[in-house]
Amino acid sequence: MHTLDELGQLFSQKFSVNHFPDQPQGLYEPNNYFLSIGGKRIRPLLVLMANELFGDIHEDSWKVAFALELMHNFTLIHDDIMDDAPVRRGKATVHELYGASTAILAGDVMLIRAYQYLNQIDISYLRVINEIFNQTSTEICEGQQYDMAFEERTDVKLDEYLKMISLKTSVLLAASLKMGSIIGGASVRNQDHLYQFGLNLGIAFQIQDDYLDCFGDPEKFGKMIGGDIKKNKKTFLAIHLQNVANETEKHELQQLKSATEEKKVERTLAIMKNNGVDQWAWDLKQEYFNKAMYHLEEIAVISARKKELKYLAEFLISREH
Amino acid sequence: MHTLDELGQLFSQKFSVNHFPDQPQGLYEPNNYFLSIGGKRIRPLLVLMANELFGDIHEDSWKVAFALELMHNFTLIHDDIMDDAPVRRGKATVHELYGASTAILAGDVMLIRAYQYLNQIDISYLRVINEIFNQTSTEICEGQQYDMAFEERTDVKLDEYLKMISLKTSVLLAASLKMGSIIGGASVRNQDHLYQFGLNLGIAFQIQDDYLDCFGDPEKFGKMIGGDIKKNKKTFLAIHLQNVANETEKHELQQLKSATEEKKVERTLAIMKNNGVDQWAWDLKQEYFNKAMYHLEEIAVISARKKELKYLAEFLISREH
């Protein structure tokens, strides 16, 4: 078995090949650029680690890991156009650098390249892996659609937000683990526990992300506090605040929409603390993290093999705090 | 065996199901709308006809026909965004009606739905059909990229334009035929002849399209003459004209770019006729059509079975003239 660091290095080495031909340069250079700006490569690592829970890493896990990383990057390129985001990972986004038309097409061909890697795996599980891949990509698109639709609404409920976040981010973590476990030869029961592990971990991670934006240590968090509040973004904390604030507070929150950014952040955080929203979010994150760990526990392999997955989960969830 | 009309009706019936779930409506309604505005459904017909050349239509050919029609519609939705086209088939385009962000996402999920249909076919040819599908979708993206890049250039050569057109439109016709023939049980040699038949037919069709825009009968052609000239669009005729016009004519063509549309069309057509560009295009179309028919002839099945494909080819190529 490999440590998380070893797998990270191995993947990084294997993945640093040309995934695209040279021509047409106008199409493939943007993709090479976007892949070169990196990322945490969490999804491929989950494939490899899930495979290794049950046996040696099979060549097909690398193919699936490539496919999932490319598919993830396809969603990022297209999401950045839709969100009109000029920067990702500190670098210019594809549409910012090459225009929206090229970014649409570059994303399209990135997804198709993912399918080309998938199509190289052993025929015995080709259909089932394709099925999970298709289902998951569809869900990610649905999640993005809900996310955009929620921006226009003021009455988004917590369970709707939870569903959106699950679709937009968690299902891919879950699916990565499940695919790796299938290649590793896991039983259906173990596959399902890994899927649930990933799903709940993803939700815990998102709650933490929303929490840190409000209550993180700016020095450790690496960005300014209150970015979501400034943009009136829907988050676990913002939606819960609407549920628990009293009428006076709701009135103030409404007024704050036209206040200076500084004041808006300061007062919103104060009202959140008044209502214990910080503690609520912390507990909710812990609840999903515990669910994730329960499913990891339930997987029928000796616990020594689970060490690295547990380490990764704890690393993701104790981030910057 | 079925006639072309019978297959058209059968496909239309089978295809008029819900390809998408109800929710999220904001994502799937645009796709249902776009599919409802129709189209000639040429690609699925080619799958079915190619299958029927060799044997009864297999259930899998319907799946592949669905997949190809959806993939074709995915490219149209995204191309319309890139080309900023407000209208297709006389109706508002998806981005025009629902915004560019939704149109990007709707196209994405349309492509993934195509892969879901593909993934249902028999395992014995799943990999090879996927491979052709992936290769072809990639080529279509490459063709679109070349098309966009050519808009910025004034020195596009005829063979570059031919390559772009082949990628953007012909390879999909060719691939549709090849996939149908594989399901029908054709030999590799017959598969290849069908592919070449589709490729050359597609090129002949495009030359005709470019020709009709200049020299078609407006009443039969169904739109105004000279649309491509007005937009300074690169076409087989426009590129060839640059190769054969003398210096005085080239100078006039340059001047015409800032002339009124009416004058630009009138004079460009006159210079084309002076140089025999109309006859040249007509002959070139015939050359590709003959190549297509040669490959149809070469397919080793009795000629009676080829009747409907021959009829379709002649129908496409004698269009509006």
CA distance B139 to A105: 11
Residues of B in contact with A81 (CB under 8 A): 100-101, 104
User: What ipTM, to 2 d.p.?
Assistant: 0.95
Compute the nearest-CA separation of A152 from chain B (Å): 12
**Alpha-carbon distance B227 to A275, whole Å?**
65
**Out of A82, A112, A126, whose CB is closest to B137?**
A112
Summarize the confidence of residues A70-75 as an average pLDDT: 98
CB contact under 8 Å between A105 and B24, yes or no, is: no
Q: How far apart are CA B190 and CA A288, in angstroms?
A: 57
The three-state secondary structure class of B131 is helix
Find the helix or strand (DSSP H, E) in which B216 lies.
Answer: none
**Between residues B68 and A222, the one the model is more confident about:** B68
Please say if the pLDDT value at position B181 is more than 90: yes
DSSP characters over B274-320: HTTHHHHHHHHHHHHHHHHHHHHHHSSS-GGGGHHHHHHHHHHHSTT
Across the interface, do B119 and A134 touch by the CB < 8 Å criterion?
Answer: yes
Asked whether the beta carbons of residue B134 and residue A123 sit closer than 8 angstroms, the reply is no
pLDDT tens digit sequence for A194-234: 999 999 999 999 999 999 999 988 777 666 789 899 988 99
> Which residues, in sequence order, are CB contacts of A109 under 8 Å at separation 6+?
A20, A27, A28, A31, B138, B141, B142
A162 to chain B, closest Cα gap in Å: 15
**Distance to chain A for B265, nearest Cα, Å:** 29
Q: Please report, for chain B, the start and end positions of each structural domain, with discontinuous segments joined by +.
A: 1-157, 187-321
pLDDT of residue A321: 47
What is the distance between the alpha carbons of residues B245 and B103, in angstroms, rounded to a whole number?
42
Asked if B123 has any chain A CB less than 8 Å from its own CB, the reply is: yes
**Chain B residue closest to A81 (CA)?**
B101
- Whole-number Å distance between alpha carbons of B171 and B140: 8
| Residue contact B111–A116, C-beta within 8 A | no
State the Cα–Cα distance between residues B46 and B180, nearest whole angstrom.
7
Structure tokens at B175: 């691939």
Longest distance between any two alpha carbons in chain A, whole Å: 63
**Tens digit of each residue's pLDDT (9 = 90 or more) over A143-183:** 999 999 999 998 999 999 999 999 999 999 999 999 999 99
**Across chain B, what does the average pLDDT equal?**
95
How many Å apart are CA A175 and CA A194, to the nearest integer?
9
CATH topology of domain A187-321: Farnesyl Diphosphate Synthase (1.10.600)
- Report percent pLDDT > 90 for chain A: 92
Please check whether the two domains, B1-157 and B187-321, share a CATH topology.
yes
Instruction: Answer yes or no: is pLDDT of A261 > 60.
Output: yes
State how far residue A41 is from chain B, nearest Cα, in angstroms.
Answer: 22
Within 8 A by CB and 6+ apart from A304, the residues are none
Inform me whether the pLDDT recorded for B37 exceeds 80. yes
CB pairs under 8 A between A and B: 112
CATH class of the B1-157 domain in this structure: mainly alpha
Phi, then psi, of B92 in degrees rounded to 5: -60, 140
Q: Can you tell me the distance from the alpha carbon of B268 to that of B250, in angstroms, rounded to the nearest whole number?
A: 10
Q: What is the mean pLDDT of residues B140-159?
A: 95
Residues B211-267 have pLDDT tens digits of 999 998 877 766 678 989 998 899 999 999 999 999 999 999 999 988 999 999 999
Which of B18, B90, B40 shows the shortest CA–CA distance to B312? Answer: B40
Partner A contacted by B31 (CB < 8 A): no
The per-residue pLDDT of chain A, averaged, comes to 95
Nearest residue of chain B to residue A145 (CA atoms) = B27
Q: Are B187 and B228 spatial neighbours (Cβ–Cβ below 8 Å)? A: no
| pLDDT band for position B319 (cuts 50, 70, 90) | low
Above pLDDT 70, what percent of chain A? 98
In chain B, what percentage of residues exceed pLDDT 90? 92
What pLDDT sits at residue B321?
46
Residue from the list B113, B115, B144 with its beta carbon closest to the beta carbon of A105: B144
* B257 contact A CB<8A: no
Record: contact B127-A119, CB cut-off 8 A: yes
The set of residues, in sequence order, having a beta carbon less than 8 Å from that of B90 and lying 6+ positions away, is B37
